[in-house]
Amino acid sequence: MKHRLIFTGKKLIRMALLLLGVSLAAFLLMSASPLDPLQTNVGQAALGTMSQEQIAKLEEYWGVNDPPLQRYLGWLGDFVRGDMGTSLLYRQPVSQVIGQRLQNSLWLMAFAWVFSGLLGLTLGILAGASRESWGDKLIRGWCLLISSTPTFWLALVLLIVFAVWLGVLPSGLSVPIGVDAASVTLGDRLYHAILPALTLSITGVANIALHTREKMIDILESDYVLFARARGESKTSIILRHGLRNVALPAITLQFASISEIFGGSVLVEQVFSYPGLGQTAVNAGLGSDLPLLLGITVVSAAIVFGGNLIADLLYGVVDPKIRRGAARA
Amino acid sequence: MEPVLEVKDLSISFTQYQGGTRRRELPVIRNLSLTVEAGQVAAVVGSSGSGKSLLAHGILGILPYNSHMEGELRYKGQPLTPKRSEALRGREIVLVPQGVTYLDPLMKVGPQLRGGRRDAQAKARSRAVLERYGLGAETEELYPFELSGGMARRVLIATAAAQSPGLLIADEPTPGLDARAAGRILGHFREIADQGAGVLLITHDLELALTIADKVAVFYAGETVEEANASDFSAGRLRHPYTNALWNALPQNGFTPIPGAQPWPGEEGSGCPFAPRCPRRTEACVGEIPVRSVNGGRVRCLYPEGGERP
Ligand SMILES: Nc1ncnc2c1ncn2[C@@H]1O[C@H](COP(=O)(O)OP(=O)(O)OP(=O)(O)O)[C@@H](O)[C@H]1O
Ligand SMILES: [Mg+2]
C-alpha cells in the first residue's frame, strides 16, 4: 500500500512539472506569434479611426506593452492561488468559460471515448482472431482507410451526407437556433452532439482496432496459446480464456492514451460543426491572443490527458498480477 | 501388443515466399520413422534446429498454418487423422512443453491445471497431481512468474499427468536445470512410462536421455539416422557414424567434437545429410540411402559400423 502511495505521489509531482512545462511552452508560442492582438480583435479599419489615447488604453487591456516574462509570472502567480484570470475575449472569468465549454465538449468526448474504445476493442479482437479471413480484411481495410483520412475531411463528408443531403441531423451548434437557454432539453443537446461525436468515434475506432488486432495476433502466436491448443482447448475457449485476459493490459494503455487523440480531434471537429466546445474555444483564444484563456485551456486539457495516463498506470497495478503481487510484498 | 505411436515416412515442410512472390517448399523433416511402445521411454535426440519440436507439433496436429505434413501417423493402431488428433490431444496424447513461457502469464496455476473446468472433481484432481510432484496446494494460487524454474517444470508435468495419457510427448523438458533437478524431472517421466504410457522424450542431451530411455532415435537434419536400444551405447554397438560421433563427444567419452555443422533446412544436398562431415563417406553417399536393420536396430547408412565394411 505504501509502495502504491509513493508511486502515485511521484506521478503527481511529475504531472505538476509537466503542466508547468506545457503552460510555459504555450506561452512562449503565443508571445512569438506574429498576430497583433489589437488588429485581430479591433480590426484594421476601426484602429485607424481611434485616437492615441484609446489605442493606448486598448494596448494596456491586451497587455501588449508588458514584458513577456512579467506576464507569464503574473499569470502563474495567480494560477497557483487558484485564480485563472479573466478572459479578454469573453470578459468572463477563465474558469467560468472553461467550465461551460468543457461541459459541452465532455459530452462529445466521453461518448466518442467509450464508443470508440468498445467498438475498437471488439473489432480488433475479431479481426485478430480470424486473421486473413474476409472479415479481417474488411475490418483492416476500413481501419486503414479511416486512419488515412483527415478528421476534418471526414467531418465534412458526414456533415454533407447527414445534414445536407439527408437532412436528418443538425449541421452545427450544440443547441437549436432561436430557442432560449431554459427550454433546451437534454434530447436537443444529444441530438446536436451526434454528428461531431460520430466523427470523433470513427477516427478513434480505427487506431484502437488496428492496435488491438496486432496484440491479438501476437497472443495467438504465443507459446501459451500453442500449449493451450496442445491441451485440446477449442479456438473459442482460447480466445475467451487467454486472448481476452492478455489483451486487457494493452487495451487499458490504448484506451487511456486515446484521450489525447480525442482531445486533438475535438479541436478540428468542433471547428467544422461550429460546436461551442473547448476545442473551438481554444482556437478562438489562440487566434484572438486571449492569453489567460489559452493558458487556462492548455493546462486544463493537459491535466485531463495526464490524469488519464495516471488512471491507466493505477489500473495497471490492479490488473497486472506482477505489479499487484510485487506491491503486496513490498 | 500394438505400439502406442507409429510414425512412418513423416515429412514436414514449410511454404515460404521469397521476395514476396516466389513460392518455395522448405523441407524440415524428411522420411522420419519412429515407434513408441507402451511402458517405454523412447528418446529422440538431435541438435538444435533439427526439427524435434516440429515432430511433436506434427503428432499433436498443431503445426503452423504455412506447413505441410505427409506420411503416416498411427496411435494405438489407428491412423491419427487431424480430426482424431484434435479429439485426443490434451487427454490421450499430452505434451510437456519446454518452459514457463508455455503457461499463460496472467492465469494462476490452479485454473491452468484444470484447463477451464471448475467442478469439485477437477479441483481434487489438480490438488492431487500437484502433491504428487511435491508442490503444495498454495501453488494453485501462484502466477507463472512466481514459480522457480524447477517448480515451473513440475507444474508443466502436472498438466500432463492430470490426465491419464496413453502417450506423453516431452519437448526438451530439462534445460536450465542442474543435473540433479533434471534427473528428478526425468524420473517422473520414467514413472509415467512404468504406469503404462508411452513416453516420447525429445531432447538434445544424449547423456540425460540415456539415463531413462529404453531406446533412442537419433535425428540429423530432419531425418532419423538411427534407432538404437539404450544399451547399445555403452556396449559399443552403435551403427551410424553420427551416433558414434555424438557418443564420443560426451565428456566421459573423450569430448571429441564433430567437425563441421548440421546443414540448414533446404541446404542439404541429395543423399545422406551427414556425408560432408562423415569419415566413412564414399561417392555412393550422394545417392538414395535405404534404411536397414542391423543388430536389432535400424540405421540409414550405406556403411554402418557393425555392418559390412566399405
Ligand atoms: N513457422 C516456420 N516457418 C519456417 N520454418 C520454420 C518454422 N518453424 C520452424 N521452422 C524451421 O524448422 C526447423 C526445425 O525447427 P524446430 O523448432 O523443430 O527445431 P528443434 O529441433 O526443436 O530445435 P531446438 O532444439 O532449438 O528447439 C528450424 O530450422 C526452423 O528454422
Ligand atoms: Mg524445439
ipTM attached to this prediction: 0.88
Whether residue A11 lies inside any domain: the answer is no
Q: How distant is the Cα of A115 from the closest Cα of chain B, in angstroms?
A: 27
Provide the mean pLDDT of chain A.
83
A153 pLDDT band (50/70/90 cuts)?
Answer: confident
pLDDT at B5: 94
Chain B touched by A180 (CB under 8 Å): no
Residue B203 covered by a domain: yes
Q: Using the 8-state DSSP alphabet, how is residue A106 labeled?
A: H
How far is Cα of residue B26 from the mean position of the Cα atoms in its chain? Answer: 21
- Going by the DSSP 8-state scheme, the letter that residue B147 receives in this structure is S
DSSP state of B107: S
Facing residue for A227 by CB, picked from B102, B116, B143: B102
Say yes or no: A148 and A53 in one domain: no
CB-based contact A279:A317 (threshold 8 Å)? no
Residue in A145, A120, A109 with CA at minimum distance from that of residue A254 = A120
Lowest mean per-residue pLDDT among A31-45, B197-211, B282-296: A31-45
Which ligand places an atom closest to the C-alpha of B47?
A: 1
Average pLDDT over residues B31-35: 86
The residue in chain A having the minimum alpha-carbon distance to the alpha carbon of residue B97 is A227
Look at B107 and A245 and tell me if their CB atoms are within 8 Å: yes
User: What residues 181-240 of chain A have any CB closer than 8 A to a CB of chain B?
Assistant: 222-224, 226-233, 237
A246 touches chain B (CB under 8 A): yes
- Expressed as residue numbers, the domain containing A262 is 96-289
| Contact across the interface for B145 and A241, Cβ inside 8 Å | no
Tens digits of per-residue pLDDT, A300-310?
Answer: 888 888 888 88
Which three cell numbers, joined as nine digits, stand for A321? 498480477
Cα-to-centroid distance, B51 and ligand 2 (Å): 7
Question: Nearest C-alpha to atom 14 of ligand 1 is from which residue?
Answer: B51
Q: Residue A245: its chain B contacts at CB < 8 A?
A: 104, 106-107
State how far the Cα of B310 lies from the Cα of B308, in Å rounded to an integer.
7
**A62-76, A113-127, B27-41: which has the minimum mean pLDDT?**
A62-76
The closest residue, in CA terms, to atom 1 on ligand 1 is B64
pTM passes above 0.90: no
Q: Alpha-carbon distance A89 to A284, whole Å?
A: 9
Q: Give the residue from B96, B102, B103 with the most A CB atoms within 10 Å of its CB, the best one to mutate.
A: B102
- Whether the per-residue pLDDT at A142 is higher than 80: the answer is yes
At residue A181 the predicted structure's pLDDT band, cuts being 50, 70 and 90, is low
- Provide the 10 A C-beta neighbour count for residue A61: 12
Which region among A115-119, A265-269, B145-149 has the lowest average model confidence (pLDDT)? A265-269
**Same domain? A107 vs A252:** yes
Identify whether B104 is part of a domain: no
Rounded Cα gap, residues A7 and A12, in angstroms: 9
What is the pLDDT, as a whole number, of residue B96?
93
Flag whether residue B124 sits within 8 Å of chain A, measured between CB atoms: no
Q: Does A324 touch chain B (CB under 8 A)?
A: no
* A117 in the same domain as A50: no
> Which pLDDT score, from 0 to 100, does residue A162 have?
80
Band of pLDDT at residue B76, cut at 50, 70 and 90? very high
Q: What are the pLDDT digits (tens) for A10-21? A: 888 988 898 889
Put simply, whether B104 touches A (Cβ < 8 Å) is: yes
Whether residue B101 lies within 8 A of chain A, CB to CB, comes out as yes
| Strand arrangement, sheet containing B22-36 | B22-36, B5-18, B67-75, B78-79
**Atom from ligand 1 closest to the CA of residue B204:** 25
Same domain for A108 and A245, yes or no, is: yes
Q: What are phi and psi of B18, to 5 degrees?
A: -105, 130
* Domain contains B277: yes
Q: Measured between CB atoms, does A178 come within 8 Å of chain B? A: no
3-state secondary structure of B292: strand
* Average confidence (pLDDT) over B279-295: 85
CA atoms of B47 and A59, how far apart (whole Å): 83
- At B110-161, the pLDDT tens digits run 999 988 778 888 888 888 889 988 888 899 999 999 998 888 988 998 898 8
> In this structure, is residue B100 part of a structural domain?
no
What CATH code is carried by the domain that includes residue B39? Answer: 3.40.50.300
Percentage with pLDDT > 70 across chain A: 88
B7 shares contact with chain A (CB less than 8 Å): no
**According to the model, what pLDDT value does residue A330 have?**
42
Ligand 1 neighbours by CB, cut-off 6 Å: B 14, 28, 46, 48-54, 64, 172, 204, 265
Residue B151 CB-half CA count within 13 A? 15
Overall domain count for chain B: 1
Provide φ and ψ at B27, rounded to 5°: -75, 130
User: Smallest CA–CA separation between B276 and chain A, in Å?
Assistant: 35
In a domain, B284, yes or no: yes
Range of the domain at B80: 5-92+163-300
Query: Whose C-alpha lies nearest to ligand 1, atom 28?
Result: B49
For residue B37, pLDDT beyond 50: yes
Say how many CA atoms lie within 13 Å of B144 toward its Cβ.
16
Which positions ≥6 away from A311 have C-beta within 8 Å? Answer: A256
Report the alpha-carbon distance of residue B91 to residue B96 in Å, rounded. 13
| CA-to-CA dists, residue B143 to A223, A253, A287, B140, B177, angstroms | 16, 22, 55, 8, 20
Window from A38-47, B245-254, B276-285 with minimum mean pLDDT: A38-47
Same domain, A49 and A134: no
Q: Per-residue pLDDT averaged across A160-183, rounded?
A: 70
Residue A91 lies in a domain: no
User: What letter represents residue B39's amino acid?
Assistant: G
Tell me which chain A residues have a C-beta less than 8 angstroms from the C-beta of B62.
226, 229-230
Q: Are both A65 and A114 inside the same structural domain?
A: no
Cα–Cα distance for residue pair A174/A263, rounded to 1 Å: 17
* Nearest residue to A113 via CA among A259, A309, A267: A259
Q: What is the three-class DSSP state of B182?
A: helix
A252 touches chain B (CB under 8 A): no
Residue B310's pLDDT is: 44
**pLDDT on residue A327:** 55
Asked if B106 is an interface residue toward chain A (Cβ–Cβ < 8 A), one would say yes
Instruction: Report the separation in Å between the CA atom of A241 and the middle of ligand 2, taken as the mean of its atom positions.
Output: 26
What residues 147-206 of chain B have any CB closer than 8 A to a CB of chain A? Answer: 159
Residues A61 and A202 in one domain: no
DSSP letters, A72-93, are HHHHHHHHHTT---B-TTT-SB
Q: How does residue A41 score in pLDDT terms, banded at 50, 70 and 90?
A: low
CA of B116 to nearest chain A CA: how many angstroms apart?
8
* Residue pair A111/A197 in contact by the 8 Å Cβ criterion: yes
Would you say residue A85 lies in a domain?
no
Residue in A146, A145, A155, A140 with CA at minimum distance from that of residue A108: A155
Ligand 1 centroid to Cα of residue B54, in Å, is 6
Q: Do A53 and A158 lie in a common domain?
A: no
8 Å CB contact of A223 and B97: yes
Residue A43 sits in the same domain as residue A159? no
Residue B170's DSSP bridge partners are B96, B201
Q: What is the pLDDT of residue A43?
A: 66
Residue A209 scores a pLDDT above 80: yes
Number of structural domains in chain A:
2
Do A192 and A64 share a domain, yes or no?
no
Strand residues in B46-126 grouped as ranges (E): 67-75, 78-79, 93-96
Tell me what pLDDT residue B216 has.
93
- Ligand nearest, relative to CA of residue B48: 1
Q: What is the average pLDDT score of chain B? A: 87
B151 falls within a domain: no
Distance, CA of B140 to CA of B146 (rounded, Å): 11
Domain CATH code at residue A229 = 1.10.3720.10
**Are residues A225 and A182 both part of a single domain?**
yes
* Domain-located, residue A312: no
**Domain-embedded: residue A246:** yes
For atom 24 of ligand 1, which residue has the closest CA? B48
Same-domain pairing of A54 and A156: no
Answer whether residue A77 is part of any domain.
no
**A contacts of B95 (beta carbons < 8 Å):** 227, 230-231
Residue B175 CA to ligand 2 center (angstroms) comes to 11
Q: Which residues, 6+ apart, have CB-to-CB distance to B277 below 8 Å?
A: B242, B245, B258, B259, B260
User: Which positions 282-321 of A are in contact with B (Cβ < 8 Å)?
Assistant: 320-321
